[in-house]
Amino acid sequence: MNQRFMREKPILPLLLSMALPMVVSMLVNSLYNIIDSLFVAKIGEDAITALSLVYPVQNLINALAIGFGVGINAVISYHLGAGEIDKADAAATRGIACSIVHGVVSMIVCITVMPRFLRLFTDSEQVAEMGTQYASIAFAFSVIIMVGLAFEKIYQAMGRMQVTMTALLFGCVTNIVLDPLLIFGIGPFPQLGMRGAALATGIGQLVTLAFYLVIYRLQPVSVHITRKGLHGTRGITARLYAVGIPAALNLALPSLLISCLNALLAELSQAYVVVLGIYYKLQTFLYLPASGIIQGMRPVIGYNYGAGERERVSRIFQVALALCACIMMIGTVLCLAFASPLMALFTENVRTVAIGAHALRIICVGFLVSAVSVTASGALEGLGKGTASLVISLCRYTVVILPIAVVLCRIMGANGVWHAFWVTEFISAGVALVAWKRV
């Protein structure tokens, strides 16, 4: 198959054609996340609290899978742009092999440590037990998650966004349908509660991977997974990790941030922990359309970089930044106008809704400017500049926000934590612009 359209097609139509399937995919995925939380919330507030505490570790697994997938994507895109097909095949093959290993290790480690991890953040035995039930099943699918996301990035590198969109749609729809059936025991299905929510998620991920395998067998592709790809072609594996490790850290840092902020807020009230968990569910919905733009941009910018089209690379970045800014502006308006109804979707506790609405109105001040950091970080990853991208994420998720949150929390209580979000976004945007100009 020919990828020259990524070098020749006008930039805005090209980015939209690459990004829109991913935006649809991300919106459906975020809808699944919200619906999943809504069904879990019907079990009780202890259940949604348990899900909030498991979320950082679950996000860590996804971060490892997606981050390494970004490395796969960047290396394949570059070699396709340079016309080096054998090296692109080697990157795909080794990417799948490494993903299997990552999945096995993640499954063993996470299932083992989760009971102790949960008790670090709650004194409620009920919450800890519910979290353990969910985690023991959800993390059993770690290999499926890792390999499925590796295939996603391989197809994105080839510009086959329709395939990745369809695969994700099948998985998410399966999950949404199975959630109420397995949680509440509707019809012939057993009532599994938290275990049912985890099992529905795992089956959805399995359906996504199965779709990729079927399409790979039935349709022609420009990148192949072969035994030959496991040998020879020096430096490919090192390049996968050179981009994948910083990208994985970029995505894992939010989990570290949430865990640290949970510990900080738990000293004030469990209600603030619930609010933070709900906010990150909503944030997923708000940021994922922008993430769709970034995912569409990465293979395009990597391909053109490999082809030596440096001026076109710069214009791709500018167009992607404008699109992300529009999305984040819409998110800001929605959060300001509908803060209370959005929080009320996840809890019936009037006090929690009021606290959450106030927090959301403060945090969303930084949404628009965050488009700079998000776009620059994604573009740098697409160019294979993982370390520069990591610097931006370190500012957003640890180096800047944590000290500010601790200091402001001592002065303003929980409000200080909410203000730390938007202050950090402004500082990180400045760092991102400097990093992009240097590259």
* 251 residue type, one letter: L
Number of Cβ within 10 Å of residue 219's Cβ equals 10
Q: What is the mean pLDDT of the chain?
A: 88
Q: Cβ distance 208 to 148 under 8 Å?
A: yes
Check residue 366 and report its DSSP letter.
G
Calpha distance 323→430 (Å, rounded): 19
Would you state the structure tokens that stand for residue 189, as one six-digit string? 């299905």
Radius of gyration of the chain from its Cα atoms, rounded to whole angstroms: 21
How large is the average pLDDT for residues 339-360? 88
pLDDT in tens, 232-266: 667 888 889 988 888 888 777 887 888 889 888 88
Residue 431's pLDDT is 94
Calpha distance 405→342 (Å, rounded): 24
- The beta strand positions in 78-198, using DSSP E, are none
Q: Cβ distance 355 to 272 under 8 Å?
A: yes
Q: Residue 329: is its pLDDT beyond 90?
A: yes
Helix (H, G, I), strand (E, B) or coil at 357: helix
Q: Residue 345: is its pLDDT beyond 70?
A: yes
Which pTM was predicted? Answer: 0.76
Q: Residue 296: is its pLDDT beyond 90?
A: no
Calpha distance 121→50 (Å, rounded): 10
Q: Cβ distance 138 to 202 under 8 Å?
A: yes
Helix (H, G, I), strand (E, B) or coil at 242: helix
Helix (H, G, I), strand (E, B) or coil at 219: coil
Residue 3: CA atoms inside 13 Å, Cβ hemisphere, count? Answer: 30
